[in-house]
Structure 1
């Protein structure tokens, strides 16, 4: 239990740190693609961990823990070799595939203006005067920062959408093998193989979603990242329906795979979009709040999936089938909130731009 507690603490800390580093190290034009790489790394790493340590644990559970811990020492050494980035994305790393920063992508105070914020200025969008920061974000306490972050309408919509998506994903991770085994009448070993195929589709989804959101933004579509996430979330709901109710594994596999692709494709664009609506000095705290609320949804998912299956729908194959069908409602709510964010995102981007131009040194 102590190992799980420490692991949970480290995992939770990664979210805010990664959000800040992505904003500090990478140009705004490629943050969706970078988030795609980050999330695909998480998926691939989890798959390797399950596949490698599962067999080793049958021989020795201690050996399984040791093998998982060894790469962490190498990673820690690499992290210590990295230079400390300039805050606020004022000195991003430039890759060969990203366009160079525009001449007006900053101001005299050194603040980095994102591509989305430049588009908001070009469109003449007015910020919300009540949300333009008038004090240095570094002097805001946790409660004040929380109130401010949760007053940004698009950020709240993104948090709710993220919670709904990860809630359903947590249920799939817990009961996916059992559902595939019972629903499609295949052996557990084969069901694990099916889930590996689905996981591979998820990797393709995060890479494609991040890149597509960046592409639309480059083409001058301010809502591009939010639109990609909203369409992906809606597509996931539609595609999961036939996968849940069919009994044929061959018929279900294409639906499950494309649904997993769509489910995962929504995450990199909204992660990148969130950096456009929050002041750079609040990136870490904003992500910490989102991670906390999202983790609550993930924590309750296995309990609710199991309870609904056993006590509402009578358990067994049919109970699990109808539970998955019912739990599509939070996923549908995720799509609803993202489509709703299309109306609030442009003004929130303009507000963040005005706050970043207020002269707080990063």
Structure 2
């Protein structure tokens, strides 16, 4: 496997709302402490092993194979998409496919140009530099990155004031792999310097079932196909969540059974961990309940929702809302958040005549 070297010069500050992570370990796509080693073992090691994202894999395979045949360093790669879909895994695979070392850091860690210069000065020819959350890189470091990506050269400033001197430093050709969950926050000059851009999509139930089956084989767990499908259907379209739910179901099967995971064990475990049939957890349902039962379906501002459920507004907006909107249960309007007919039905309530999508739900029935 490719040599992975992880370098971070400054740890980013803990964002507001992070206290919710302790409540959302089961379904939060962000990796938690103690889970990373297990997740590393479950990561595929090559494009052939990677499940899902067929278009991205085919396109990336062409980029890497073409560069190998010409004997040159591949173009820089930008991977965008929600957390948990495999961006970091794809960066590891790129280094593995090229047979080079992988150097890892994150955008928040590169606060100064000197932080980036220190990394680039130690890079070897053909290495892969992976910057996670690249949209959060500091502006001075980003401007230095422009020259490094295009000309494989950086200017190091020595001294201060009128006596400062710029010393040009050539760096060997390398491949930058940037990952972002917010592609819209990338500046135009940075985005345009990537030769290949890939958008990672949410997974379907069929692909997630394959992910669960593969993880079960690696973990040495016997699982029925119906149980794999059940876990996959509650994983929010995210492989990281599917792998995490599998480990929780394994715990349940070990404690309450013989270790074999069947449909009953999967459903029992997911009920214990408050993950319902659509993948909603306690906090998701609390937001829906406040919106529907407390405010008649809205519209309601995000600050009001956050106070009602005892969370930070950023937690509701960044953790809960994306999936609830994608599941068709909440609509964002200029006046606030509005519950759809699907949200009313999911809570076991009859939607009012004026609810969004009420005619669609009646036609489905």
- Normalization by structure 1: what TM-score? 0.23
Q: Which has the higher strand share?
A: 2
Greater RCO between the two (CA within 8 Å, min separation 6)?
1
Q: Which has the higher helix share?
A: 1
- Normalization by structure 2: what TM-score? 0.23
